[in-house]
A = this chain, B = another copy of it.
Amino acid sequence: MSSDTTLPWSDLKMSARIVAAAFKRFARNGFAAATIREIAADAGVSAALVIHHFGSKDGLRRECNRRVVDFLRDKGRPDASAAERLDAVFVQYGSYATRAVAEDSEESRELFDVLLGMARAVVAEGAESGSLRGSSDPDAQAMALLVLGLTPFAFSAHLTRWADAGLDAAMARLAVPIAEIYTRGLVTDSGLLDAAMGVRGER
């Protein structure tokens, strides 16, 4: 059971504070630009302690990734649908996960693959229940669902600047046109789809 990052700061053990600070810095600045000294300062500890607990900067990232994967596979609520789980990950770890998979392809493949597997489950679920329109390429549909879902987090800085509001409010405003697209489509003729199918040589 991973500790919830919404718990009061003072209740967290030092190692948990470090992880929480790492999530924030990695999400905001990216792995390469974030420094151990920054993270340590945010957590109120020394840089040496970070190494003591996690071995290295890479070990700290592994711990962060592990927590996201654990959260996604959380056995605590086996009744949750795939869509609910994926959505919960977006809400809880969206900014971090987006940065993590976007930045370092070598070490974040497992994280991405786990997310993609969950997206596949969402597509299968939706096809069965009829809540999602089927695609000619369900596997690609799952990929599209995942990357489109991660999108807002990838540009969160510009989003908040554009909306002149916090991330939540900005995402809420962006959610409207995206929901419109998901519900009614965006283009009015089949030219785009024909072109996309044509490139693949399909009919």
A55–B172 Cα distance when bound, in Å, is 42
A152 — nearest CB in chain B belongs to which residue? B147
Taking a contact as CB atoms closer than 8 A, the residue among B135, B137, B161, B173 that contacts A200 in the complex is B173
Taking a contact as CB atoms closer than 8 A, the residue among B102, B140, B161, B185 that contacts A184 in the complex is B185
Any chain B CB within 8 A of the CB of A159? yes
Using known A-B contacts A30-B103, A102-B154, A105-B157, determine if residue A143 contacts B162 with beta carbons closer than 8 Å: yes
Residues of A contacting B: mostly: helix
Taking a contact as CB atoms closer than 8 A, the residue among B32, B109, B193, B199 that contacts A180 in the complex is B193
In the complex, what residues of B have CB within 8 A of residue A186's CB?
Answer: 132-133, 145, 182-183
Contact across chains for A178 and B144 when beta carbons are under 8 A apart: yes
Contact across chains for A133 and B185 when beta carbons are under 8 A apart: yes
Taking a contact as CB atoms closer than 8 A, the residue among B148, B150, B155 that contacts A101 in the complex is B155
A4–B103 Cα distance when bound, in Å, is 27
Any chain B CB within 8 A of the CB of A187? yes
A134 — nearest CB in chain B belongs to which residue? B180
* 22 residue pairs A–B, Cβ–Cβ below 8 Å: A98-B154, A112-B155, A126-B187, A132-B188, A133-B180, A133-B185, A137-B177, A140-B173, A141-B180, A143-B174, A145-B177, A147-B154, A150-B155, A151-B151, A151-B154, A173-B200, A175-B196, A176-B196, A179-B197, A182-B187, A182-B192, A184-B193
